[in-house]
Structure 1
């Protein structure tokens, strides 16, 4: 994937920033520090993920409509342990998610 955000990514980021502004900013600031270690931002990441699950309509819609595709991708990741082995499942999930937001 290139550096440019896809329309799906843009929609989700906008919805996350709108519905979880303090959690989004806290995680972004933590990860933006020069000495940022993802382990040190675990609490901020947890808080952001919790807010997304509860308060972001676009995410909830994707989760409902694409539940089977999401489960397939998660199962692939668990079984293979590599993101690269699950690219087809991820593409299918992203396609479903894009369609669910139109």
Structure 2
């Protein structure tokens, strides 16, 4: 079952990413929407978008600062479980709840 807060959180973050990193966001989106995308080129576009998000998106920075412990717990769970997200659903839920709380 989908959490309505998750959808709203995703929407808030996407709007901020599009606002603060428009060039990188569009470049990555355009790369992925090609009929036969070049994985290496798309990867480089994703890296550039990630750098911009970390540097320029206030909502992401706020979440990183205020939810650092929850983020670290989720990352540790993924590492322990070989990136199997289904084993870390509670950590992800806790992180999303924290993130949503910072943006209300």
TM exceeds 0.5? yes
Per the alignment, residue 54 of structure 2 pairs with 53
| Aligned residue among 86, 89, 103 for 1:87 | 89
| Deviation for aligned residue 1:35 | 1.1
Q: Which runs of 4+ in 1 moved over 4 A?
A: none
Per the alignment, residue 43 of structure 1 pairs with 44
| Aligned residue among 94, 98, 101 for 1:99 | 101
How far apart are the structure 1 equivalents of 2:99 and 2:38? 30
How far apart are the structure 2 equivalents of 1:86 and 1:47? 27
How far apart are the structure 2 equivalents of 1:35 and 1:44? 15
Matches within 5 A, 1:61-76: 61-76=62-77
Distance 1:94 1:38, change over 3 A: farther
How many pairs align? 101
Q: TM-score, normalised by structure 1?
A: 0.92
